[in-house]
Amino acid sequence: MELDHDHFMGIALDLARATAAAGNRPVGSVLVAADGTLLASGANRIFTDFDSTAHAEMFVIREGGQKLRTLDLSGCTLYSSLEPCPMCCWATIQANVSCLVLGGRHAALGSPGLGRYSVETMLEFTGRRMALVTGIRAQECEQLRRAWNAERARR
């Protein structure tokens, strides 16, 4: 079954907008089964939860595994409004997520502190494989993050 990337990224973007309104970095993620069933959704909550690991991707991986009663999320697609950080990327790889669909990219945002990191470099470094789809509503995702960064700088 061909998944509707625009639709699922739209859900992730709605989650990102809502969590930004609560004061968190605007990142939303959803986990989708091969048949198109939405298994889990999550948003970054590091500031509201006071937890540096409270990232959107971590929530959907946990919830998806619990819902399916497995550590193996093969066949699932994870959508993220922003490229996962190295922690979340590794969790995605370890969970055997089959496909990662990205909106915004760290390189496009000039994210400080990540050096040359990208999902591709993590996959190369680890010798692991995972299907990767990029550029889905990227401008919208990146603009959301830029607006959030600008608002934080004004405070």
> Environment class of residue 86 by beta-carbon count within 10 Å: exposed (0-12), middle (13-18) or buried (19+)?
middle
Distance of alpha carbon 86 from the chain centroid: 11
User: Which entry of 57, 63, 120, 140 is annotated as an active-site residue?
Assistant: 57
140 is written with which tokens?
A: 């919208």
Q: Do β-strands 131-133 and 38-43 pair in parallel, antiparallel, or remain unpaired?
A: unpaired
Give catalytic status of residue 57 as yes or no.
yes
CA-to-CA separations, 15 to 34, 35, 59, 108, in angstroms, rounded: 21, 22, 12, 21
Which residues are annotated as catalytic? 57
